[in-house]
Protein backbone atom coordinates (compact mmCIF):
# COMPACT_ATOMS: atom_id res chain seq x y z
CA UNK A 1 0.00 0.00 0.00
CA UNK A 2 0.93 3.62 -0.33
CA UNK A 3 -0.89 6.40 1.50
CA UNK A 4 -4.63 7.01 1.39
CA UNK A 5 -5.92 7.68 -2.16
CA UNK A 6 -6.34 11.43 -1.65
CA UNK A 7 -2.91 11.83 -0.03
CA UNK A 8 -1.36 9.81 -2.86
CA UNK A 9 -3.02 12.12 -5.36
CA UNK A 10 -1.76 15.22 -3.53
CA UNK A 11 1.80 13.85 -3.55
CA UNK A 12 1.50 13.10 -7.27
CA UNK A 13 0.05 16.51 -8.07
CA UNK A 14 2.84 18.32 -6.22
CA UNK A 15 5.37 16.67 -8.52
CA UNK A 16 4.38 18.92 -11.41
CA UNK A 17 6.34 21.67 -9.64
CA UNK A 18 9.85 22.04 -11.11
CA UNK A 19 12.56 19.98 -9.34
CA UNK A 20 10.07 18.38 -6.95
CA UNK A 21 10.39 14.57 -6.94
CA UNK A 22 8.42 11.94 -4.98
CA UNK A 23 10.37 12.47 -1.74
CA UNK A 24 10.09 16.27 -1.68
CA UNK A 25 6.43 16.06 -2.70
CA UNK A 26 5.80 13.73 0.23
CA UNK A 27 7.60 16.11 2.58
CA UNK A 28 5.57 19.03 1.23
CA UNK A 29 2.27 17.18 1.61
CA UNK A 30 3.08 16.22 5.22
CA UNK A 31 4.24 19.75 6.09
CA UNK A 32 1.01 21.21 4.69
CA UNK A 33 -1.20 18.66 6.47
CA UNK A 34 0.64 18.90 9.78
CA UNK A 35 1.44 22.55 10.18
CA UNK A 36 0.19 24.66 7.31
CA UNK A 37 -3.47 23.86 6.71
CA UNK A 38 -4.64 27.47 6.44
CA UNK A 39 -1.59 28.52 4.41
CA UNK A 40 -2.09 25.51 2.16
CA UNK A 41 -5.72 26.32 1.49
CA UNK A 42 -4.75 29.91 0.78
CA UNK A 43 -2.14 28.57 -1.70
CA UNK A 44 -4.81 26.42 -3.37
CA UNK A 45 -7.10 29.39 -3.83
CA UNK A 46 -4.42 31.80 -5.02
CA UNK A 47 -3.06 29.17 -7.42
CA UNK A 48 -6.48 28.53 -8.89
CA UNK A 49 -7.21 32.24 -9.23
CA UNK A 50 -3.78 33.01 -10.71
CA UNK A 51 -4.00 30.25 -13.33
CA UNK A 52 -7.50 31.41 -14.17
CA UNK A 53 -6.76 35.14 -14.45
CA UNK A 54 -3.09 35.70 -15.25
CA UNK A 55 -2.43 35.99 -18.95
CA UNK A 56 0.03 37.94 -21.04
CA UNK A 57 0.14 41.73 -21.45
CA UNK A 58 -1.31 42.53 -24.88
CA UNK A 59 1.64 44.79 -25.64
CA UNK A 60 4.80 43.46 -23.97
CA UNK A 61 3.76 39.82 -23.31
CA UNK A 62 4.79 39.78 -19.64
CA UNK A 63 2.55 37.98 -17.13
CA UNK A 64 -0.31 40.13 -15.86
CA UNK A 65 -3.94 39.76 -14.85
CA UNK A 66 -4.74 43.03 -16.69
CA UNK A 67 -5.13 43.48 -20.42
CA UNK A 68 -2.13 45.83 -20.41
CA UNK A 69 0.54 45.55 -17.68
CA UNK A 70 1.25 48.54 -15.38
CA UNK A 71 4.59 49.27 -17.08
CA UNK A 72 3.04 49.48 -20.56
CA UNK A 73 0.10 51.49 -19.22
CA UNK A 74 2.44 54.10 -17.65
CA UNK A 75 2.68 57.03 -20.13
CA UNK A 76 6.03 58.16 -18.63
CA UNK A 77 7.59 54.92 -19.78
CA UNK A 78 6.85 55.76 -23.41
CA UNK A 79 8.72 59.09 -23.23
CA UNK A 80 12.23 57.67 -23.52
CA UNK A 81 11.35 55.89 -26.75
CA UNK A 82 13.48 52.92 -25.64
CA UNK A 83 12.39 49.30 -25.80
CA UNK A 84 14.29 46.60 -23.92
CA UNK A 85 14.00 42.99 -25.11
CA UNK A 86 14.29 40.36 -22.37
CA UNK A 87 13.68 36.63 -22.15
CA UNK A 88 11.49 36.45 -19.05
CA UNK A 89 9.39 38.50 -16.60
CA UNK A 90 12.06 37.81 -13.96
CA UNK A 91 14.54 39.76 -16.13
CA UNK A 92 12.15 42.73 -16.14
CA UNK A 93 12.12 42.70 -12.34
CA UNK A 94 15.93 42.42 -12.20
CA UNK A 95 16.37 45.40 -14.54
CA UNK A 96 13.70 47.43 -12.73
CA UNK A 97 15.55 46.90 -9.47
CA UNK A 98 18.60 48.72 -10.87
CA UNK A 99 16.45 51.84 -11.31
CA UNK A 100 18.59 52.74 -14.37
CA UNK A 101 16.19 52.03 -17.17
CA UNK A 102 13.00 54.06 -17.66
CA UNK A 103 11.71 52.74 -21.00
CA UNK A 104 9.40 49.89 -21.86
CA UNK A 105 9.99 46.13 -22.26
CA UNK A 106 9.17 43.36 -24.64
CA UNK A 107 9.22 39.93 -23.00
CA UNK A 108 10.01 37.01 -25.33
CA UNK A 109 9.00 34.31 -22.82
CA UNK A 110 11.95 32.20 -23.95
CA UNK A 111 14.58 32.22 -26.68
CA UNK A 112 14.82 30.83 -30.21
CA UNK A 113 15.26 27.08 -29.97
CA UNK A 114 14.20 25.38 -33.21
CA UNK A 115 14.85 21.87 -31.83
CA UNK A 116 12.28 22.48 -29.08
CA UNK A 117 9.82 23.95 -31.57
CA UNK A 118 10.37 27.52 -30.37
CA UNK A 119 10.48 29.73 -33.46
CA UNK A 120 9.93 33.47 -34.03
CA UNK A 121 6.17 33.09 -33.73
CA UNK A 122 6.33 31.45 -30.28
CA UNK A 123 8.40 34.42 -29.08
CA UNK A 124 5.80 36.87 -30.43
CA UNK A 125 8.28 38.41 -32.88
CA UNK A 126 5.42 39.10 -35.31
CA UNK A 127 3.86 41.17 -32.52
CA UNK A 128 7.19 42.94 -31.98
CA UNK A 129 7.43 43.76 -35.69
CA UNK A 130 3.93 45.24 -35.64
CA UNK A 131 4.90 47.33 -32.66
CA UNK A 132 8.11 48.54 -34.34
CA UNK A 133 6.03 49.47 -37.37
CA UNK A 134 3.41 51.33 -35.34
CA UNK A 135 5.69 53.33 -33.07
CA UNK A 136 8.96 55.15 -33.73
CA UNK A 137 11.36 53.83 -31.10
CA UNK A 138 14.63 55.66 -30.55
CA UNK A 139 16.49 52.53 -29.41
CA UNK A 140 16.05 48.80 -29.08
CA UNK A 141 18.14 47.37 -26.22
CA UNK A 142 18.78 43.62 -26.56
CA UNK A 143 19.03 42.18 -23.04
CA UNK A 144 18.63 38.48 -23.81
CA UNK A 145 20.87 36.13 -21.82
CA UNK A 146 24.53 35.80 -22.89
CA UNK A 147 24.01 32.15 -23.88
CA UNK A 148 24.24 30.63 -27.36
CA UNK A 149 20.44 30.73 -27.73
CA UNK A 150 20.16 34.21 -26.23
CA UNK A 151 22.82 35.54 -28.64
CA UNK A 152 21.12 33.92 -31.64
CA UNK A 153 17.81 35.44 -30.59
CA UNK A 154 19.46 38.86 -30.19
CA UNK A 155 20.95 38.67 -33.71
CA UNK A 156 17.60 37.63 -35.16
CA UNK A 157 15.82 40.57 -33.50
CA UNK A 158 18.59 43.00 -34.49
CA UNK A 159 17.90 41.98 -38.07
CA UNK A 160 14.18 42.73 -37.73
CA UNK A 161 14.96 46.10 -36.15
CA UNK A 162 17.29 47.05 -39.02
CA UNK A 163 14.41 46.58 -41.47
CA UNK A 164 12.46 49.13 -39.45
CA UNK A 165 15.40 51.53 -39.19
CA UNK A 166 15.53 51.36 -35.39
CA UNK A 167 18.93 51.75 -33.75
CA UNK A 168 19.87 48.59 -31.83
CA UNK A 169 22.19 48.03 -28.85
CA UNK A 170 23.27 44.99 -26.87
CA UNK A 171 23.92 45.12 -23.11
CA UNK A 172 27.63 44.97 -22.20
CA UNK A 173 29.25 41.66 -21.27
CA UNK A 174 32.39 41.58 -19.18
CA UNK A 175 33.85 41.10 -15.74
CA UNK A 176 31.11 41.41 -13.06
CA UNK A 177 31.53 44.25 -10.54
CA UNK A 178 33.14 42.93 -7.36
CA UNK A 179 34.42 39.86 -9.20
CA UNK A 180 38.05 38.83 -9.28
CA UNK A 181 39.78 38.65 -12.63
CA UNK A 182 41.45 35.30 -11.97
CA UNK A 183 38.08 33.69 -11.22
CA UNK A 184 36.38 34.92 -14.41
CA UNK A 185 36.16 32.45 -17.31
CA UNK A 186 38.20 33.10 -20.45
CA UNK A 187 35.21 33.79 -22.67
CA UNK A 188 33.92 36.54 -20.40
CA UNK A 189 37.41 37.98 -20.06
CA UNK A 190 37.90 38.14 -23.82
CA UNK A 191 34.49 39.85 -24.11
CA UNK A 192 35.59 42.39 -21.54
CA UNK A 193 38.75 43.09 -23.61
CA UNK A 194 36.86 43.42 -26.87
CA UNK A 195 34.35 45.72 -25.21
CA UNK A 196 36.95 47.92 -23.47
CA UNK A 197 36.37 51.66 -23.24
CA UNK A 198 38.87 54.49 -23.44
CA UNK A 199 39.68 55.88 -20.05
CA UNK A 200 38.63 59.51 -19.91
CA UNK A 201 41.13 61.16 -17.56
CA UNK A 202 40.89 64.65 -19.00
CA UNK B 1 7.96 47.25 -8.75
CA UNK B 2 7.63 43.53 -8.41
CA UNK B 3 5.30 41.42 -10.54
CA UNK B 4 1.56 41.95 -10.91
CA UNK B 5 -0.32 41.76 -7.56
CA UNK B 6 -1.78 38.31 -8.21
CA UNK B 7 1.56 36.88 -9.40
CA UNK B 8 3.27 38.40 -6.35
CA UNK B 9 0.70 36.74 -4.13
CA UNK B 10 1.19 33.38 -5.86
CA UNK B 11 4.97 33.61 -5.36
CA UNK B 12 4.45 34.50 -1.69
CA UNK B 13 1.95 31.67 -1.15
CA UNK B 14 4.29 29.08 -2.69
CA UNK B 15 6.88 29.95 -0.05
CA UNK B 16 4.89 28.15 2.66
CA UNK B 17 6.15 24.91 1.08
CA UNK B 18 9.18 23.53 2.95
CA UNK B 19 12.58 24.64 1.58
CA UNK B 20 11.00 26.87 -1.06
CA UNK B 21 12.44 30.40 -0.97
CA UNK B 22 11.63 33.48 -3.08
CA UNK B 23 13.71 32.32 -6.07
CA UNK B 24 12.30 28.78 -6.25
CA UNK B 25 8.79 30.10 -5.68
CA UNK B 26 9.27 32.46 -8.63
CA UNK B 27 10.53 29.61 -10.79
CA UNK B 28 7.58 27.44 -9.75
CA UNK B 29 5.06 30.20 -10.50
CA UNK B 30 6.56 30.79 -13.96
CA UNK B 31 6.70 27.08 -14.76
CA UNK B 32 3.04 26.67 -13.80
CA UNK B 33 1.94 29.73 -15.78
CA UNK B 34 4.02 28.90 -18.85
CA UNK B 35 3.72 25.15 -19.21
CA UNK B 36 1.55 23.55 -16.54
CA UNK B 37 -1.75 25.43 -16.40
CA UNK B 38 -3.98 22.36 -16.35
CA UNK B 39 -1.66 20.46 -13.97
CA UNK B 40 -1.50 23.53 -11.76
CA UNK B 41 -5.26 23.86 -11.54
CA UNK B 42 -5.51 20.18 -10.77
CA UNK B 43 -2.96 20.69 -7.97
CA UNK B 44 -5.03 23.59 -6.61
CA UNK B 45 -8.17 21.46 -6.50
CA UNK B 46 -6.49 18.37 -5.03
CA UNK B 47 -4.72 20.51 -2.43
CA UNK B 48 -7.96 22.17 -1.39
CA UNK B 49 -9.80 18.86 -1.21
CA UNK B 50 -6.97 17.13 0.67
CA UNK B 51 -6.68 19.87 3.28
CA UNK B 52 -10.44 19.83 3.69
CA UNK B 53 -10.89 16.07 3.96
CA UNK B 54 -7.69 14.45 5.22
CA UNK B 55 -7.61 14.05 8.97
CA UNK B 56 -6.13 11.50 11.33
CA UNK B 57 -7.20 7.87 11.71
CA UNK B 58 -9.25 7.61 14.91
CA UNK B 59 -7.23 4.60 15.99
CA UNK B 60 -3.63 4.90 14.76
CA UNK B 61 -3.45 8.67 14.02
CA UNK B 62 -2.01 8.30 10.50
CA UNK B 63 -3.27 10.61 7.75
CA UNK B 64 -6.46 9.39 6.11
CA UNK B 65 -9.66 10.81 4.68
CA UNK B 66 -11.63 7.97 6.34
CA UNK B 67 -12.60 7.72 9.98
CA UNK B 68 -10.45 4.58 10.32
CA UNK B 69 -7.49 4.00 7.96
CA UNK B 70 -7.44 0.87 5.72
CA UNK B 71 -4.70 -0.75 7.83
CA UNK B 72 -6.65 -0.41 11.07
CA UNK B 73 -9.85 -1.50 9.34
CA UNK B 74 -8.23 -4.72 8.06
CA UNK B 75 -9.17 -7.53 10.50
CA UNK B 76 -6.15 -9.62 9.41
CA UNK B 77 -3.85 -6.95 10.81
CA UNK B 78 -5.26 -7.48 14.31
CA UNK B 79 -4.42 -11.21 14.31
CA UNK B 80 -0.71 -10.88 15.05
CA UNK B 81 -1.42 -8.82 18.15
CA UNK B 82 1.61 -6.65 17.36
CA UNK B 83 1.63 -2.87 17.43
CA UNK B 84 4.45 -0.89 15.83
CA UNK B 85 5.09 2.67 17.04
CA UNK B 86 6.48 5.03 14.39
CA UNK B 87 7.03 8.76 14.15
CA UNK B 88 5.39 9.53 10.80
CA UNK B 89 3.08 8.12 8.09
CA UNK B 90 6.14 7.91 5.81
CA UNK B 91 7.65 5.40 8.23
CA UNK B 92 4.52 3.25 7.92
CA UNK B 93 4.96 3.21 4.15
CA UNK B 94 8.66 2.35 4.47
CA UNK B 95 7.91 -0.58 6.81
CA UNK B 96 5.01 -1.77 4.66
CA UNK B 97 7.32 -1.89 1.66
CA UNK B 98 9.49 -4.47 3.39
CA UNK B 99 6.49 -6.83 3.52
CA UNK B 100 7.87 -8.25 6.81
CA UNK B 101 5.48 -6.79 9.31
CA UNK B 102 1.82 -7.77 9.39
CA UNK B 103 0.55 -6.05 12.54
CA UNK B 104 -0.90 -2.65 13.17
CA UNK B 105 0.72 0.78 13.68
CA UNK B 106 0.47 3.73 15.98
CA UNK B 107 1.74 6.95 14.39
CA UNK B 108 3.05 9.56 16.83
CA UNK B 109 3.20 12.38 14.26
CA UNK B 110 6.48 13.53 15.78
CA UNK B 111 8.63 12.82 18.81
CA UNK B 112 8.83 14.16 22.35
CA UNK B 113 10.38 17.62 22.21
CA UNK B 114 9.49 19.64 25.32
CA UNK B 115 11.32 22.75 24.07
CA UNK B 116 9.03 22.85 21.01
CA UNK B 117 5.98 22.24 23.16
CA UNK B 118 5.58 18.64 22.00
CA UNK B 119 4.65 16.59 25.04
CA UNK B 120 2.95 13.17 25.49
CA UNK B 121 -0.47 14.65 24.73
CA UNK B 122 0.60 16.10 21.35
CA UNK B 123 1.83 12.61 20.37
CA UNK B 124 -1.51 11.06 21.37
CA UNK B 125 0.08 8.93 24.08
CA UNK B 126 -3.15 9.16 26.13
CA UNK B 127 -4.88 7.55 23.15
CA UNK B 128 -2.18 4.87 22.99
CA UNK B 129 -2.64 4.13 26.71
CA UNK B 130 -6.39 3.72 26.21
CA UNK B 131 -5.72 1.37 23.34
CA UNK B 132 -3.25 -0.68 25.37
CA UNK B 133 -5.88 -0.89 28.12
CA UNK B 134 -8.66 -1.93 25.75
CA UNK B 135 -6.79 -4.55 23.77
CA UNK B 136 -4.31 -7.23 24.80
CA UNK B 137 -1.32 -6.76 22.50
CA UNK B 138 1.30 -9.50 22.33
CA UNK B 139 4.13 -7.08 21.50
CA UNK B 140 4.84 -3.37 21.15
CA UNK B 141 7.60 -2.69 18.59
CA UNK B 142 9.26 0.69 19.06
CA UNK B 143 10.37 1.92 15.62
CA UNK B 144 10.98 5.58 16.38
CA UNK B 145 14.02 7.14 14.72
CA UNK B 146 17.46 6.38 16.22
CA UNK B 147 17.92 10.05 17.20
CA UNK B 148 18.16 11.53 20.70
CA UNK B 149 14.49 12.56 20.59
CA UNK B 150 13.40 9.28 19.03
CA UNK B 151 15.22 7.27 21.72
CA UNK B 152 13.74 9.40 24.50
CA UNK B 153 10.27 8.88 23.03
CA UNK B 154 10.87 5.14 22.79
CA UNK B 155 11.91 4.97 26.48
CA UNK B 156 8.86 6.98 27.51
CA UNK B 157 6.50 4.65 25.62
CA UNK B 158 8.31 1.52 26.91
CA UNK B 159 7.51 2.81 30.39
CA UNK B 160 3.81 3.17 29.59
CA UNK B 161 3.75 -0.34 28.05
CA UNK B 162 5.32 -1.83 31.18
CA UNK B 163 2.45 -0.49 33.26
CA UNK B 164 0.09 -2.40 30.97
CA UNK B 165 2.17 -5.56 31.06
CA UNK B 166 2.83 -5.53 27.30
CA UNK B 167 6.14 -6.94 26.10
CA UNK B 168 8.20 -4.25 24.34
CA UNK B 169 10.94 -4.45 21.69
CA UNK B 170 13.10 -1.89 19.91
CA UNK B 171 14.12 -2.32 16.25
CA UNK B 172 17.79 -3.26 15.81
CA UNK B 173 20.41 -0.62 15.12
CA UNK B 174 23.65 -1.47 13.41
CA UNK B 175 25.59 -1.51 10.15
CA UNK B 176 23.23 -1.09 7.18
CA UNK B 177 23.10 -4.00 4.70
CA UNK B 178 25.38 -3.28 1.74
CA UNK B 179 27.27 -0.64 3.74
CA UNK B 180 31.01 -0.70 4.29
CA UNK B 181 32.30 -0.93 7.83
CA UNK B 182 34.93 1.77 7.40
CA UNK B 183 32.29 4.26 6.27
CA UNK B 184 29.93 3.65 9.20
CA UNK B 185 30.11 6.13 12.11
CA UNK B 186 31.48 4.98 15.46
CA UNK B 187 28.17 5.27 17.29
CA UNK B 188 26.44 2.94 14.85
CA UNK B 189 29.37 0.55 14.90
CA UNK B 190 29.34 0.36 18.72
CA UNK B 191 25.56 -0.30 18.55
CA UNK B 192 26.20 -3.11 16.11
CA UNK B 193 28.76 -4.63 18.54
CA UNK B 194 26.46 -4.33 21.53
CA UNK B 195 23.59 -5.86 19.57
CA UNK B 196 25.68 -8.74 18.15
CA UNK B 197 24.06 -12.16 17.83
CA UNK B 198 25.58 -15.58 18.32
CA UNK B 199 26.41 -17.21 15.04
CA UNK B 200 24.35 -20.39 14.73
CA UNK B 201 26.55 -22.81 12.70
CA UNK B 202 25.09 -26.01 14.02
> Can you tell me the ipTM of this complex?
0.81
Residue B155 is assigned to a structural domain of this protein = yes
pLDDT exceeds cutoff 70 at A185: yes
| B29 close contact with A: CB closer than 8 A | yes
Q: Is residue A185, in this structure, part of any structural domain at all?
A: no
Query: Is A139 within a domain?
Result: yes
Which residue segment(s) compose the domain that A104 sits in? 82-170
* Closest alpha carbon within chain A to B15: A43
Strand B82-86, strand B104-107: pairing: parallel
A window 50-89, beta carbon within 8 A of B: 50-54, 63-66, 69-71, 88-89
Radius of gyration of chain B (CA): 22
- B130 plus B65 within the same structural domain: yes
Half-sphere exposure of A137 (CA within 13 A, CB side): 27
Q: Give the pLDDT confidence score for residue B41 in this predicted structure.
A: 95
Give me the number of domains chain A comprises: 1
**Residue A184: predicted pLDDT:** 85
- Chosen from A20, A46, A110 to mutate, greatest number of chain B CBs within 10 A: A46
Q: Is the domain of B106 the same as that of B40?
A: no
Note whether B33 and B101 are same-domain residues: no
Tell me the C-alpha distance between A20 and A8, whole Å.
15
Give chain A positions within 8 Å (CB) of B31.
17-18
* Least confident among A4-8, A31-35, A52-56, A186-190: A186-190
> If DSSP codes are grouped into helix, strand and coil, which group holds residue B69?
coil
Q: Is the pLDDT of residue A134 over 80?
A: yes
Q: Which helix (H) or strand (E) holds A161?
A: helix A148-163
pLDDT of B201 over the 70 cut: no
Same domain, B163 and B107: yes
Indicate yes or no: CB of A4 within 8 angstroms of CB of B70.
yes
pLDDT digits (tens, 9 = 90+) for B53-90: 999 999 999 999 999 999 999 999 999 899 999 999 98
Band (pLDDT 50/70/90 cuts) for residue A97 is confident
State the average pLDDT over residues A120-124. Answer: 93
User: In the predicted model, what is the mean pLDDT of residues A106-123?
Assistant: 93
Any idea what the CATH number is for the domain that residue B25 is in?
Answer: 1.10.8.420
> Which chain A residues are within 8 Å of B32, Cβ to Cβ?
16-17, 47, 50-51
Query: Does the pLDDT value for residue A105 go beyond 90?
Result: yes
| Chain B residues with CB-CB distance to A65 below 8 A | 4-7
* B119 and B141 within one domain: yes
- Chain B residues with CB under 8 Å of A30 CB are 63, 88-90
Partners of B64 in the β-ladder: B55
Mean of all residue pLDDT scores within chain A: 91
B161 and B65 within one domain: yes
What distances in angstroms separate CA B142 from CA B65, B67, B84, one per listed residue?
Answer: 26, 25, 6
Do both B47 and B79 map to the same domain?
A: no
Same domain, B61 and B48: no
- Does residue A1 surpass a pLDDT of 60? no
Residues B66 and B164 in one domain: yes
Segment B153-172 shows an average pLDDT of: 93
CATH code, domain with B129: 3.40.1360.10
pLDDT tops 80 at residue B200: no
Residue A202 pLDDT > 90, yes or no?
no
The enclosing H or E element of A127 equals helix A125-134
Amino acid sequence: MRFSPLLDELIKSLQILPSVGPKSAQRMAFALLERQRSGGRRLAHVLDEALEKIGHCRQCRTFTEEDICPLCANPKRAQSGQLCIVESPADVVAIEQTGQYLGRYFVLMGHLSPLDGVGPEELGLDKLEHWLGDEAFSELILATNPTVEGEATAYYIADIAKHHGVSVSRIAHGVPIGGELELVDGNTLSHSFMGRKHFDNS
